[in-house]
Amino acid sequence: MIHLKKDETKAMVAVHGWSGILLGLLLYAVVLTGTAAVFAHEIGAWSAGHVASRSAFQTPIDARIRRLAAITPPEYREAASLFEIGDHGLGVFFHRDQLDAKGMPTERGIYYQLDNAGRLRRTVQGFSEDIFGPRNDDALSSFLVDTHVRLHVPNPWGLLLTGILGLAMLVAAISGLLIHRHLFKDIFTLRRRANPVLVDRDRHSVAGTWSLPFAFILAFTGSFFSFFGSIGVPVVAMAAFGGDVEALSEAVFGNPGTPDPRPIAIGNLDRVTADAIRRTGEAPTFIAIENFGRADASITTFHNPRASDIEPVSLLYDGATARFERAKPTVGTRPSAGGTLAGIMGPLHFGNFAGMLSKAIWFGLGFAMCYVTFTGMRLWVVRRKAEARSLAWLERTVTVVGYGLPFGLVASAAAFLVAMPIGSAVYWTTAAFLIASGAAILAGALVRSNETLTRLLKGATGAVALMLPLLRLTVAGGPGWGEAVAAGQPVIAALDIAFVAAGIWMLHGCRTALRTPDRSAPIVARAVDA
């Protein structure tokens, strides 16, 4: 335990409170959508009714890639990226590296989208930042991820904003640890029969203390991801490579070798995927082909971490012969401390290193962080409301965002399920979120009491959450539980149950609140001071 002097503790309490209250509302939005995004892949399968359970890389891809290479203009055949899309379909991006209008390195090429039967569904040509947008069948999961990563603010500003939020969370987590005078006592103190606000304070303290290490890891890795491309790489490239970002990228991620531009057909990709699956025990998540169709071509397969490991795996193959060369770290050409440190940042942030178990733990701890952020803001406002009545607007804002955001998210999910069959899910998923948010703001302005507003938003969220499984089955034409389980997608049934449980929980909370008398401000303030 760390013992600070009285004035240092006072400074830390101020830092903890202000770091939360200044950016807490945005931080809450980022943490809540990030918590949901832990299951982005599963939400994508649930919402679009994906029942294919075999990876695209477990099916023959070699002939498909050769066919696509044949119709691709030679200037875009410098490199190819292969990855899964939709219902285990295949995305193939033939491209070349070049500079954009601002002189920043980017990729330009042709993006082919194939379904899981290998049929070409769509072709898009352009710069990578323009062509990789949400599709009709993944609009909901894309919306969640985009909100979490950059709050829909254009880059680099969105990344900078979420990076600053990550730093605010880091400050709140460290100062939260420093201000605990009785850390071990606080972990177990829950006065259930005390004043409601004291109960809230105890819950905030307990949830915050237990999830402190997790908050620290999430804030650290999250701000790393936000600042990595937007600030870190340009600054390091400026100092170490005279501003040449591509040279930095090549030094860190490249596969150095002697250039050999002789034209030679690419090796058998089915042989590569079969060998990679045999060596790692699972299908690749991504395949990168450099110098496609040349003698010096190389193929790298990327995989999730092995069981009981946290570092992702990647395998390097000779592109011309499809012969396995070596296992390589995801960062750097050979194992190193820096490469390992950079490599584990992803699994630590996404919680995908031990399958569903680690994802469930990350989801639970993320939910605890949402609770800590929200209750922290409420406690801050309640403590000061008695001193400054003008803070009533802030209390109202906290309620609108705290309960309005989940309402907006379930409304966007409902709109996705209705709009996906008619092909307009990309538009309506976002539009429904904005409409629901507007309705929550309007309710915040019109409803008299904060308690009534809370009940209204909780009730609306619970009702929409209960409707989601019905909408999925009836309007979106999704698979039933039997079909989903038989196809190896029990997650569809699990998410249905989760939405029903969440809906009942919200409605129950709403009903309980109706029976509880309103809390009076003086009692609340006294309780917080106690």
Partner 1 sequence: MNRNRFTPAIMRDQMEAVRPRSRRRWARILLAGPGAVIVALTLLAGMPLWLPGGAAGIDNLAFPLVLAPLIWAALFFHACLDRSIARVALVAAALFLVHGGLIASRFIGQAPVTEKAG
The only residue of 22, 235, 327, 530 in contact with partner 1, by rule CB under 8 A? 235
Q: End-to-end CA distance of the chain, in Å?
A: 23
Q: How far is the CB of 289 from partner 1 (least distance, A)?
A: 22
Q: How far is the CB of 172 from partner 1 (least distance, A)?
A: 11
Residue placing its CB nearer to partner 1 in the complex, 233 or 310? 233
As a whole number of angstroms, the distance between CA 39 and CA 506 comes to 21
Asked if 240 interacts with partner 1 (CB under 8 A), we say yes
Any alpha helices (H) in 228-315, and if so which ranges?
A: 233-241, 245-253, 269-280
As a whole number of angstroms, the distance between CA 109 and CA 388 comes to 58
Asked if 170 interacts with partner 1 (CB under 8 A), we say yes
Residue 125: which of 113, 105, 109 has the closest Cα? 109
Asked if 219 interacts with partner 1 (CB under 8 A), we say yes
Asked if 52 interacts with partner 1 (CB under 8 A), we say no
Asked if 224 interacts with partner 1 (CB under 8 A), we say yes
The only residue of 238, 388, 434, 514 in contact with partner 1, by rule CB under 8 A? 238
Asked if 334 interacts with partner 1 (CB under 8 A), we say yes
Residue placing its CB nearer to partner 1 in the complex, 233 or 431? 233
Contact 518, 455 (CB under 8 A): no
Residue placing its CB nearer to partner 1 in the complex, 117 or 337? 337
Name residue 290's beta-bridge partners: 79, 298
Asked if 46 interacts with partner 1 (CB under 8 A), we say no
Contact 197, 382 (CB under 8 A): yes
Asked if 338 interacts with partner 1 (CB under 8 A), we say yes
The only residue of 44, 158, 339, 347 in contact with partner 1, by rule CB under 8 A? 339
- Binding part of the chain for partner 1, among 72-80, 226-234, 259-267, 472-480 by CB under 8 A, reads 226-234
The only residue of 105, 118, 156, 232 in contact with partner 1, by rule CB under 8 A? 232
The only residue of 22, 327, 341, 356 in contact with partner 1, by rule CB under 8 A? 341
Contact 391, 378 (CB under 8 A): no
Asked if 177 interacts with partner 1 (CB under 8 A), we say no
Asked if 487 interacts with partner 1 (CB under 8 A), we say no
Asked if 332 interacts with partner 1 (CB under 8 A), we say yes
Residue placing its CB nearer to partner 1 in the complex, 232 or 509? 232
As a whole number of angstroms, the distance between CA 453 and CA 121 comes to 46
Q: What is the DSSP string of 45-112?
A: HHHHT----S-GGGS--HHHHHHHHHHS-GGGTTEEEEEEETTTEEEEEEEEEEE-TTS-EEEEEEEE
Q: How far is the CB of 285 from partner 1 (least distance, A)?
A: 21
Residue 46: which of 506, 480, 462, 353 has the closest Cα? 480
Cite the beta strand spans of 86-210 per DSSP E: 89-99, 105-114, 120-127
Residue 293: which of 504, 66, 497 has the closest Cα? 66
Sheet with 313-318, strands from edge to edge, namely: 120-127, 105-114, 89-99, 79-85, 286-290, 298-303, 313-318, 324-328
Asked if 502 interacts with partner 1 (CB under 8 A), we say no
Q: How far is the CB of 132 from partner 1 (least distance, A)?
A: 24
Residue placing its CB nearer to partner 1 in the complex, 274 or 345? 345
Q: ∠191-194-197 over CA atoms, to 5°? A: 100
- Binding part of the chain for partner 1, among 11-19, 125-133, 149-157, 480-488 by CB under 8 A, reads 11-19
Buried b (16+ CB within 10 A) or exposed e, 220-256: bbbbbbbbeebeebeeebeeeeeeebeebeeeeeebe
Cis check: omega of the bond before 73, within 30 degrees of 0: no
* Two structure tokens written together for 242: 């005279």
As a whole number of angstroms, the distance between CA 27 and CA 401 comes to 11
Residues of the chain by 3-state class (helix, strand, coil), percent to 5: 65, 10, 25
Dihedral sign, CA of 22, 221, 355, 309?
negative
Any alpha helices (H) in 386-489, and if so which ranges?
A: 392-419, 425-446, 450-474, 481-486
- Binding part of the chain for partner 1, among 29-37, 80-88, 244-252, 409-417 by CB under 8 A, reads 244-252
Q: Between helices 425-446 and 392-419, what is the axis angle to 10°?
A: 150
Residue placing its CB nearer to partner 1 in the complex, 224 or 427? 224
Q: How far is the CB of 256 from partner 1 (least distance, A)?
A: 9
Asked if 8 interacts with partner 1 (CB under 8 A), we say yes
Residue placing its CB nearer to partner 1 in the complex, 348 or 394? 348
The only residue of 101, 117, 337, 445 in contact with partner 1, by rule CB under 8 A? 337
Asked if 331 interacts with partner 1 (CB under 8 A), we say yes
The only residue of 103, 154, 242, 517 in contact with partner 1, by rule CB under 8 A? 242
Asked if 171 interacts with partner 1 (CB under 8 A), we say yes
Number of residues in contact with partner 1, rule: CB under 8 A?
43
Residue placing its CB nearer to partner 1 in the complex, 83 or 241? 241
Q: How far is the CB of 219 from partner 1 (least distance, A)?
A: 8
Q: How far is the CB of 345 from partner 1 (least distance, A)?
A: 7
Asked if 248 interacts with partner 1 (CB under 8 A), we say yes
Asked if 231 interacts with partner 1 (CB under 8 A), we say yes
Residue placing its CB nearer to partner 1 in the complex, 124 or 236? 236
The count of other CB atoms within 10 Å of the CB of residue 457 is 27
> Using CB under 8 A as the criterion, which residues of the chain lie in contact with partner 1 when the complex forms?
4, 8, 11-12, 15, 166-167, 170-171, 174-175, 219-220, 223-224, 227-228, 231-233, 235-236, 238-242, 248, 251-252, 329, 331-339, 341-342, 345
